């Protein structure tokens, strides 16, 4: 009984007529006691007023027999009333005087109206109203009914005011709108207050081609529930389809005194129906376009009457076909692998006088193999003898070729899926694994994908390789992909394989969407990078040792160099007058060489410390960095007359001090190598995925393409020191800084035509 009650409450198996009748009843009497009985006369639904009248708790009534509150005599009268209502279709509705027995043992005199439900739902609905005492003027009934209707209409408005669909109520002649809910303004795009004043407002909203249809509806007396569909034009010109369900509401005398309607926007449904019709028409046109003619085989005389196109499809001379050709001549043109089957199918359909459809291959007049579908039927005499066999032939060669190509492609993809050097895993939208190739299984040391869902991954051990934190089920790459995320920045995990070994894997993934934008599949690729990571760690350790060596070596050179410089300075200060011109020149060379040596050692120290002495990365505004650099280079900028322009630069994730060094070297070089003209330098940026491409463009002497690789090599100079000063380490340092930030640096230039240095830097994630 409980399941059935739920079905009835939800309207799960009620047809539209039932829903309309139930809707009419509830609207008409919603402030009174309302109950619903199933076929066994047990309560399945009751409203608050019914609980109040009877004094029983709701749980004490639901599931109980109606005899708990009604006498047997009254129940029999109700049954007779329901029987008559079913016979008359619900057009009459008599009030039954009845006694209600309350939980306190009292008896309340009430008036009861009942309504049968449909044969599919079974049961009935009752509306109970406590009787009031007559007034002195004897007009109790009229006033009570009027007051009840007024209360019901107020309740009706409260119930439907915030519904998404338009609900309205009018007078019986539909000439006056009593109420329309707020959804009217959203759906029709008109002020509902104007509708109360002028019913023509509704017609103004209706599409001109449907206006007379609705006008006729408004002028016709409504006697039965029905539906009307029409188009409206919103103020912005948008045309929408409306499905308006109209329901008459009857008084106790069976007369219509109100009309209630429910209007819904069904534009999407209409568009879908039109798309289906268009598709159907296109398919029919495509089928017709593929037809190569009709045939008619006179069975008794074995004479095939066909057109030229049909004959050529079977390699038959069209001239000969005009005079009729034996069926065997056409069967002979059928591919040898299909010929016996086709002959047997024709023989069977002739014997049974049935319908015929067959798909096979034939050789046409040019010897080309064609795929066709033949459809027809046998026309037989009254005695069952086959007389004629008419039909039509459709060429489906292109479709078949496409199917074969698709089949071959599918096989190739399946082969590629298995031989790919990376693991590939596919899961459906519900998180169930669809397929995993052998490489994926080998990485895990077994088929860990033979589980019910992606969520079962949690039974396998995994850690984030960088932090050694456990991987939660929702953090696995496939789980994120199935949520619609494109994982192009690889996830790096350390896993424990089936046999207990530790491996490092790299995973990327992409969701597959359908036409509605829903994820239907998730595809994840897995690479075993255990050996690569081990090699990378060794390389990092080697680099660290080399950096330590470079630092120690350059640091140790400082002391003897300081001594050489000090003694040279003593010689210059004490014995300069004792030297001849050559001696003073030699001394000057020695001092200059010591200074350059010190600059080179300082540069080497700075180069070796890029990795070991750098600060942690943080979101950095490049506008602030460039402002600091311009301040540091202010004297050089003023002396050279350089003009430096910048666009609004982005925020990147980086080491502030190293970024300042990077741009100082680039801007200083642009000024130094400006040639004879005044330096003109421009700094701009453009986004590329998760990185920014920063460019520094100058109007200087440029760089020959053959020399562009050399400029980033330590101490490799393109010009002599007499031409341009410097240590030859600046651009090498720039490259080292950019590489530490996970980017790359390059130059675009021609000799004598300026140079543009570009580099990629990671975008800051806080923006």
The Cα–Cα gap between 513 and 470 comes to: 30
For the ranges 362-376, 511-525, 728-742, the lowest mean pLDDT is seen at 728-742
Burial class, 463, CB count within 10 angstroms (exposed 0-12 / middle 13-18 / buried 19+): middle
Cβ atoms within 10 Å of 720's Cβ, excluding its own? 7
Residue 88 pLDDT greater than 90, yes or no = no
Residue 15 pLDDT greater than 50, yes or no = no
Cβ atoms of 326 and 299 closer than 8 Å: no
The two tokens of residue 337 are 């692998």
Give 365's pLDDT tier (boundaries 50, 70, 90). Answer: confident
Which of the listed ranges 145-159, 234-248, 267-281, 534-548 does the model predict with the highest average pLDDT? 234-248
Residue 220 pLDDT greater than 70, yes or no = yes
| 3-state helix/strand/coil string of 122-164 | CCEEEEEEECCCCCCCCCHHHHHHHHHHHHHHHHHHHHHCCCC
The pLDDT assigned to 118 comes to 65
DSSP state of 702: -
Give 650's pLDDT tier (boundaries 50, 70, 90). Answer: very high
Residue 456 pLDDT greater than 60, yes or no = no
The two tokens of residue 648 are 């609004």
Q: In CATH, which superfamily holds the domain spanning 284-401?
A: PAS domain (3.30.450.20)
The pLDDT assigned to 604 comes to 64
The domain spans of the chain are 2-131, 149-265, 284-401, 420-528, 534-607, 614-762
The pLDDT assigned to 343 comes to 92
The Cα–Cα gap between 486 and 513 comes to: 12
Cβ atoms of 681 and 695 closer than 8 Å: no
Widest Cα–Cα separation across the chain: 146
Q: What's the mean pLDDT in 81-98?
A: 74
- Assigned architecture for domain 2-131: 2-Layer Sandwich (3.30)
Residue 284 pLDDT greater than 60, yes or no = no
The pLDDT assigned to 140 comes to 42
The pLDDT assigned to 139 comes to 43
| Cα separation values, 230 from 16, 167, 211, 217, Å | 20, 16, 8, 11
Cβ atoms within 10 Å of 295's Cβ, excluding its own? 22
Q: What's the mean pLDDT in 529-547?
A: 74
DSSP 3-state of 575 = helix
Q: What's the mean pLDDT in 682-701?
A: 90
Cβ atoms of 475 and 493 closer than 8 Å: no
Residue 149 pLDDT greater than 60, yes or no = no
The Cα–Cα gap between 711 and 50 comes to: 93
The pLDDT assigned to 24 comes to 46
The pLDDT assigned to 420 comes to 60
DSSP state of 454: G
| Cα separation values, 658 from 50, 382, 617, 664, Å | 81, 101, 10, 10
Residue 101 pLDDT greater than 70, yes or no = yes
In terms of Cα–Cα distance, which of 508, 524, 370 is closest to 433? 524
The CATH class given to the 149-265 domain equals alpha beta
CATH of domain 420-528: 3.30.450.20
Q: Indicate if 420-528 has the same CATH topology as 284-401.
A: yes
The per-residue pLDDT for range 470-501, each reduced to its tens digit, is: 888 788 888 888 899 988 888 888 887 777 78
Instruction: Report DSSP letters for 586-649, one per residue.
Output: HHHHHHHHHHHHHHHHHHHHHHHHHHHSPPPPEEEEHHHHHHHHHHHTHHHHHHHT-EEEE---
**What is the model's pTM?**
0.33
Alpha helix (H) ranges present in 641-756?
656-672, 730-740
- Quote the mean pLDDT of the chain: 78
Give 556's pLDDT tier (boundaries 50, 70, 90). Answer: low
Q: What's the mean pLDDT in 661-675?
A: 85
The Cα–Cα gap between 127 and 67 comes to: 16
Percentage above 90 pLDDT, the chain: 14
Question: Is residue 170 within a helix (H) or strand (E), and if so which, with residue range?
Answer: strand 166-171
For the ranges 89-93, 140-144, 243-247, 668-672, the lowest mean pLDDT is seen at 140-144
Residue 20 pLDDT greater than 50, yes or no = no
Which is higher by pLDDT, 137 or 624? 624
Query: Torsions phi, psi of 350, nearest 5?
Result: -70, -40
DSSP 3-state of 686 = strand
Residue 717 pLDDT greater than 70, yes or no = no
Which of the listed ranges 55-64, 283-292, 514-523, 719-728 does the model predict with the highest average pLDDT? 55-64
The two tokens of residue 216 are 């006729």
The pLDDT assigned to 694 comes to 93
Query: Torsions phi, psi of 671, nearest 5?
Result: -75, -45
Cβ atoms within 10 Å of 603's Cβ, excluding its own? 20
In the chain, count H helices and then E strands.
24, 29
Q: What's the mean pLDDT in 640-645?
A: 90
For the ranges 55-69, 94-108, 138-152, the lowest mean pLDDT is seen at 138-152
Which is higher by pLDDT, 289 or 199? 199
The pLDDT assigned to 649 comes to 93
| Cα separation values, 295 from 162, 288, 305, 311, 559, Å | 64, 15, 6, 10, 107
Helix axes 730-740, 581-612, angle to 10 degrees: 0
What are residue 425's DSSP bridge partners? 436, 524
The Cα–Cα gap between 583 and 577 comes to: 10
Cβ atoms of 199 and 176 closer than 8 Å: yes
Burial class, 454, CB count within 10 angstroms (exposed 0-12 / middle 13-18 / buried 19+): buried
The two tokens of residue 493 are 């995990």
15-31 burial, b if ≥16 CB within 10 A, otherwise e?
A: eeebbbbbbbbbbbbbb
CB half-sphere exposure, 50, CA atoms < 13 A = 24
Question: Is residue 566 within a helix (H) or strand (E), and if so which, with residue range?
Answer: helix 530-575
| Cα separation values, 159 from 26, 74, 127, 163, Å | 11, 32, 18, 8
Tokens 């080697």 locate to 542
The pLDDT assigned to 241 comes to 93
What are residue 109's DSSP bridge partners? 99
Residue 468 pLDDT greater than 70, yes or no = yes
| Cα separation values, 376 from 281, 387, 389, 392, Å | 22, 13, 7, 6
For the ranges 182-196, 360-374, 554-568, the lowest mean pLDDT is seen at 554-568
The Cα–Cα gap between 546 and 538 comes to: 12
Cα of first residue to Cα of last residue in the chain, in angstroms, is: 59
Residue 13 pLDDT greater than 50, yes or no = no
CATH of domain 614-762: 3.30.565.10
Question: Is residue 682 within a helix (H) or strand (E), and if so which, with residue range?
Answer: strand 680-688
The Cα–Cα gap between 447 and 457 comes to: 12
List Cβ neighbours of 473 (8 Å cut-off, separation of 6 or more): 454, 455, 457, 458, 479
The Cα–Cα gap between 111 and 145 comes to: 12
Residue 720 pLDDT greater than 50, yes or no = no
| Cα separation values, 234 from 201, 207, 392, Å | 12, 9, 49
Cβ atoms of 504 and 465 closer than 8 Å: yes
Cβ atoms within 10 Å of 677's Cβ, excluding its own? 10
In terms of Cα–Cα distance, which of 1, 103, 100, 79 is closest to 44? 1
Percentage above 70 pLDDT, the chain: 76
Residue 16 pLDDT greater than 90, yes or no = no
List Cβ neighbours of 17 (8 Å cut-off, separation of 6 or more): 118, 225
- CA-only gyration radius of the chain, Å: 46
Residue 695 pLDDT greater than 90, yes or no = yes
Q: What's the mean pLDDT in 162-188?
A: 86
The per-residue pLDDT for range 573-591, each reduced to its tens digit, is: 787 777 788 777 777 777 7
Which is higher by pLDDT, 222 or 209? 209
The Cα–Cα gap between 37 and 123 comes to: 5
The Cα–Cα gap between 286 and 588 comes to: 94
């Amino acid at each position: 009984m409980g399941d059935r009650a739920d079905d009835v409450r939800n309207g799960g198996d009620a047809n539209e007529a039932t829903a309309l009748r139930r809707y009419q009843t509830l609207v008409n009497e919603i402030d009174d006691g309302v109950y619903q009985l199933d076929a066994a006369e047990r309560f399945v639904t009751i409203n608050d007023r019914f609980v109040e009248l009877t004094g029983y708790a709701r749980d004490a009534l639901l599931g109980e027999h109606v005899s708990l509150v009604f006498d047997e005599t009254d129940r029999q009268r109700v049954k007779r009333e329901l029987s008559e209502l079913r016979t008359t279709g619900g057009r009459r509705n008599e009030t039954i005087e009845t006694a209600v027995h309350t939980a306190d043992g009292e008896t309340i005199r009430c008036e009861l109206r009942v309504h049968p439900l449909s044969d599919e739902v079974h049961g009935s609905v009752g509306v109970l109203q406590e009787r009031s005492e007559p007034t002195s003027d004897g007009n109790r009934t009229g006033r009570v009914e009027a007051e009840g209707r007024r209360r019901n209409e107020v309740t009706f408005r409260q119930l439907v005011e915030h519904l998404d669909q338009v609900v309205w109520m009018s007078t019986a002649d539909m000439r006056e709108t009593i109420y329309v809910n707020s959804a009217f303004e959203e759906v029709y795009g008109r002020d509902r207050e104007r509708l109360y004043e002028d019913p023509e407002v509704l017609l103004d909203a209706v599409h001109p081609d449907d206006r007379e249809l609705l006008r006729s509806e408004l002028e016709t007396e409504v006697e039965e529930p029905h539906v009307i569909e029409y188009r409206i034009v919103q103020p912005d010109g948008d045309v929408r389809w409306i499905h308006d369900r109209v329901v008459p509401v009857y008084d106790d005398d069976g007369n219509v005194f109100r009309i209630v309607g429910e209007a819904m926007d069904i534009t999407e449904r209409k568009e879908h129906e039109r798309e289906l019709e268009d598709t159907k028409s296109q398919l029919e046109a495509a089928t017709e376009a593929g037809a190569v003619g009709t045939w008619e085989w006179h069975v008794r005389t074995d004479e095939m009457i066909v057109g030229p196109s049909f004959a050529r499809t079977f390699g038959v001379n069209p001239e000969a076909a005009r005079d009729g050709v034996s069926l065997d001549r056409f069967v002979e043109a059928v591919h040898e692998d299909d010929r016996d089957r086709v002959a047997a199918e024709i023989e069977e359909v002739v014997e049974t006088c049935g319908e015929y459809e067959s798909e096979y291959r034939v050789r046409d007049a040019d010897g080309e193999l064609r795929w066709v579908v033949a459809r027809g039927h046998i026309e037989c005499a009254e005695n069952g003898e086959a007389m004629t066999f008419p039909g039509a032939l459709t060429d489906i060669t292109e479709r078949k070729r496409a199917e074969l190509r698709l089949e071959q492609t599918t096989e190739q993809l399946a082969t590629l899926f298995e031989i790919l050097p990376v693991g590939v895993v596919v899961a459906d939208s519900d998180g169930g694994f669809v397929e995993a190739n052998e490489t994926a299984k080998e990485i895990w040391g077994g088929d860990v994908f033979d589980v019910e869902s992606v969520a079962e991954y949690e039974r396998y051990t995994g850690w984030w390789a960088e932090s050694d934190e456990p991987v939660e089920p929702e953090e696995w790459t496939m789980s994120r992909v199935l949520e619609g995320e494109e994982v192009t920045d690889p996830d790096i995990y350390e896993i424990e394989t089936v046999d207990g070994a530790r491996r490092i894997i790299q995973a990327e993934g992409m969701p597959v969407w359908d036409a509605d934008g829903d994820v239907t599949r998730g595809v994840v690729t897995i690479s075993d990078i255990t050996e690569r990571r081990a090699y990378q760690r060794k390389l990092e350790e080697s680099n660290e040792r080399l950096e330590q060596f470079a630092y120690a070596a350059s640091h140790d050179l400082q002391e003897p160099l300081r001594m050489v410089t000090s003694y040279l300075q003593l010689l210059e200060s004490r014995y300069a007058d004792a030297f001849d011109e050559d001696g003073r020149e030699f001394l000057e060379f020695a001092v200059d060489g010591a200074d350059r040596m010190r600059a080179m050692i300082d540069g080497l120290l700075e180069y070796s410390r890029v990795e070991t002495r750098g600060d942690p990365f943080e979101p950095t505004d490049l506008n602030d960095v460039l402002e600091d650099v311009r301040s540091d280079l202010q004297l050089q900028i003023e002396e050279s007359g350089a003009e430096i322009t910048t666009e609004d630069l982005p925020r990147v994730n980086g080491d502030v001090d190293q970024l300042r060094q990077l741009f100082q070297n680039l801007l200083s070089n642009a000024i130094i190598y400006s040639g004879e003209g005044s330096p003109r330098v421009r700094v701009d940026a453009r986004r590329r995925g998760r990185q920014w491409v920063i460019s520094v463009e100058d109007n200087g002497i440029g760089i020959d393409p053959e020399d562009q690789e050399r400029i980033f090599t330590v101490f490799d100079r393109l010009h002599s020191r007499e031409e341009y000063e410097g240590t030859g380490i600046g651009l090498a340092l720039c490259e080292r800084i950019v590489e530490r930030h996970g980017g790359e640096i390059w130059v675009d230039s021609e000799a004598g035509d300026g140079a543009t240095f570009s580099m990629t830097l990671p975008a800051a994630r806080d923006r």
